[in-house]
Structure 1
Amino acid sequence: MAAFKPDWPLTLYYDGECPLCVREIRMFRRRKADDRLQLVDISNPATSPLPGRSRQAMLDCLHARFADQQLVTGIDATYWSYRAVGLGWLVRPLRWRWARPLWQATYRGFCRLRPGLARLIPMPTEERCGSDQCAIKRDKVE
């Protein structure tokens, strides 16, 4: 079997309303890998979901797409996004064939727990308001 050769850049669709996700995205941005990783906030109503996918499905499970339109989800999206920013060594165990069932089950469990965990973790303030998604509109009082 031939090794997969990624067609960069990878577009990662993330949940911008999730504090856990936002922290990871901030780390990716600090790595400055724009030529290999593009980030799209799927929680933004102006962002269209991928063809054949609902916004909710994309919020429930990580999705990423290579330049050649190959789609990867779940632990594979995690693996390739870390590879894109030069941190592939951190997620190398996700590629161990014998451990994939364990990682996939762990990921599914994490996805079920993520909404509750996200409520416990504060959103980074500067990120939440950085794109005017939470701008406060005030009526002029005279």
Structure 2
Amino acid sequence: MKQKDPQNITVFYDGSCPLCASEISYYKRADTDHVLNLVDVSSKRFSGDDSVTRSDAMARFHVRLADGRQMSGARAFVELWRAVPGWRWLARLASLPGVVPLLEELYRLFLRMRPLIVRGFGKYQRFFGTSLTR
């Protein structure tokens, strides 16, 4: 089956989170189709819009598709993977029955553990002087 042409997708991410920023940096490099519009919601320039507030975007990963539909959490990651070459296979895998709800539960678990994970990631960066995505 032929992959339809990717459309632009707006990605709302927390640039103040070193783990999040590192992951987004990886997606940016993988975006050879140049379809990602990356919005750092931690920036003073972002105050939210009609569809997503700053506090919502800081608390949970969001994307907005070209047609205006907005998603958060696991569904947002699936749409991001669908747009980025090299990750489309994961979006196809996520289309199997029951996968997105499982990913959402894992994402919610990550959100609860995020402060601890971010602290560990920061220590890793300071110790090795690099990020995981270089």
* Segment of structure 1 superposing worse, 93-102 or 20-29: 93-102
- Greater mean deviation of Cα atoms: 117-126 or 46-55: 117-126
Q: Structure 1-normalised TM-score?
A: 0.73
Alignment of 1:40 onto 2:39 = yes
CA gap 1:63/1:108 in 2 versus in 1, 3 angstroms: same
CA displacement at 1:14 relative to structure 2: 0.4
1:75–1:104 CA contact under 8 A, matched in 2: yes
Aligned length: 123
The equivalent of 2:104 in structure 1 is 104
The 1:33/1:66 distance shift into structure 2, 3 A limit, reads farther
Where structure 1 has 5 or more consecutive residues not aligned to the other structure, the ranges are 128-142
- 1:17 corresponds to: 16
Q: Contact (CA 8 Å) 1:16, 1:41: kept in 2 or not?
A: yes
| Partner Cα distance (1:58, 1:100) in 2 | 20
Closer, same or farther: CA 85–67 of 1 in aligned 2, 3 Å: same
Q: Which residue of the partner structure matches residue 90 of structure 2?
A: 90
Q: Which has the larger radius of gyration?
A: 1
Identity within the alignment, %: 33
Where do residues 1-142 of structure 1 align in structure 2 (5 Å cutoff)?
A: 8-33=7-32, 35-86=34-85, 87-122=87-122
Q: Is the 8 A contact 1:36 1:84 kept in 2?
A: yes
Give the conservation status (yes or no) of the 8 Å contact 1:7–1:66: no
Using the TM superposition, give the Cα deviation of residue 78 of structure 1 relative to its aligned residue in structure 2, in angstroms: 0.6
1:13 match: secondary structure = strand
Aligned AA for 2:74? I
- Segments of 4+ in structure 1 off by > 4 A? 123-127
Structure 1: how far apart are the matches of 2:51 and 2:60?
A: 14
Shift of 1:91: 4.1
Distance of 1:6 and 1:80 partners within structure 2: 14
Contact 2:15 2:42 in 1 (8 A): yes
The unaligned stretches of length 5 or more in structure 2 are: none
Q: Is the 8 A contact 1:6 1:66 kept in 2?
A: no
TM-score (norm 2): 0.77
Spell out, residue by residue over 1:9-51, the C-alpha distance to the aligned partner (whole angstroms, 9 max, x if none): 0000000011111111111121244631111100102112232
